[in-house]
Amino acid sequence: MSYRSITRFERSDCLINCNDIELLGFDKTKTQGEMIDLAVEYGCCVIVRNGNNGKWYLKGLGRDAGEIRDKLAQNVGNCREGVYSLFIDYK
């Protein structure tokens, strides 16, 4: 699977407690690049970093990507400092 673009949403999250691949999150030592690779491998459209030293989460598997993107945009600024989401727009 390939993607068209990745958009970063600062201090934004969605689908709280709906971690699709690893329920307890991925280790905080993983890089952003590794998480993008995993998200593409599994087909998840959202990657969440839960703070500067927080874990990574993959979300959005099988859900409407447009609705998720809109929800992330609406939630910008609603999370604590250091939390951000990456939205992957697949081709």
According to the model, what pLDDT value does residue 19 have? 86
According to the model, what pLDDT value does residue 42 have? 94
According to the model, what pLDDT value does residue 17 have? 83
Identify whether the C-beta of residue 25 lies closer than 8 Å to the C-beta of residue 57. Answer: yes
pLDDT higher than 80, residue 24: yes
According to the model, what pLDDT value does residue 8 have? 98
In angstroms, the Cα distances linking 69 to 24, 48, 76 are 23, 13, 11
Phi and psi of 57, rounded to 5°? -135, 140
According to the model, what pLDDT value does residue 44 have? 96
pTM: 0.92
